[in-house]
Amino acid sequence: MAVHAHPDDETLATGALLATWAAAGRPTAVVTCTRGERGEVIGDELAHLEGDGPALAAHRTRELAAALGALGVTDHLFLDDVVGTGERFEDSGMAWLGVGRAGAAAERPAGAFVDVDVETAAAALARVLRDRRPDVVAGYEPGGGYGHPDHVHAHVVMQRAVGLAAEPGEGRPGHRVPVVLWGALPEAGLRAAYAATADLAGPGLVPSDAEGPLPSAAVPDAAVTVRVDAVPVLDRVLAALAAHATQVQAVRAVDVPGVVAVLALSNDVLQPVLAQEGYRVAPGGRPDDVVWPRAVAVVA
């Protein structure tokens, strides 16, 4: 099960893992916390959606459904639907603070996900965990991958939910999740990928700076203890990325060592898709209790 803040995050952050799990015939689920109402829209064709929260939410929900279909994920929930009060958890928005770094927006809407009580959201997610009983829950590291406030809040909610789910609740037995994965990028490998793809930035795009600051998900290479081979599921991941056309652009496969594809977000910075999708096992994890698909390498 992957827990994410917005439509597109499931593919950008955990696409290879989800596609690999689904390809192995294993149950695969995604929980999305908002519908991406405040996302920046790429391209002129759909630019009218930006700023129109309900319209953009409806469109991004359709993009998400297409992306999940491409990845092979058949079980999806919006977290506010699980809470069941009828209130929407809305995208809180963000502001770019620099390359690969985001922070809080100047204003946020009523119902912003960052303002949702952690206990309320976590109790709903714990209900899903007790019901689905996943072997692995994957999500953001404490910094939210690159600092987006909704990502950071989703991490806090996920961690609290995992703790709550270990105890019985609402007539269901508790479920202790064997492994929680935090998305991780290998620092040296990422810088090498930035350098190797610098010449691939087309018109209107700029290359990532191989010497510049890195997102919060970047850690020393040796700290990446779970690696998913993206090559066998690359077609699925590329199709899922292409489905998120309002958020992701310039998606294409490339023949570069250590890199399988490139893309850009709304900041127009070319980003590599690494050949191995990386994770850290959160403290307390028991990787030996999980039967991993063959394309997943776990370092004890």
State the residue for tokens 């992701």.
248
- The 10 Å Cβ neighbour count of residue 142 is 14
Which of 74, 176, 179 is closest to 130 using CA atoms? 176
- Judge: domain 2-298, CATH 3.40.190.10: no
d(CA 115, CA 110): 9
Percentage with pLDDT > 70 across the chain: 100
Res. 126: pLDDT tops 90: yes
What digits encode the pLDDT tens for the residues 19-48?
A: 999 999 999 999 999 999 999 999 999 999
Helical ranges in 227-284 per DSSP H: 234-243
pTM over 0.95: yes
**b or e along 6-21 (b: 16 or more beta carbons within 10 Å of the residue's beta carbon)?**
bbbbbbbbbbbbbbbb
What digits encode the pLDDT tens for the residues 136-168?
A: 999 999 999 999 999 999 999 999 999 999 999
Give the type of residue at 155.
H
d(CA 251, CA 272): 10
State the residue for tokens 């590599």.
272
pLDDT of residue 38: 95
Domain limits, the chain: 2-298
Element at 134 (helix H, strand E): none
* Positive/negative CA dihedral, 113, 117, 122, 125: negative
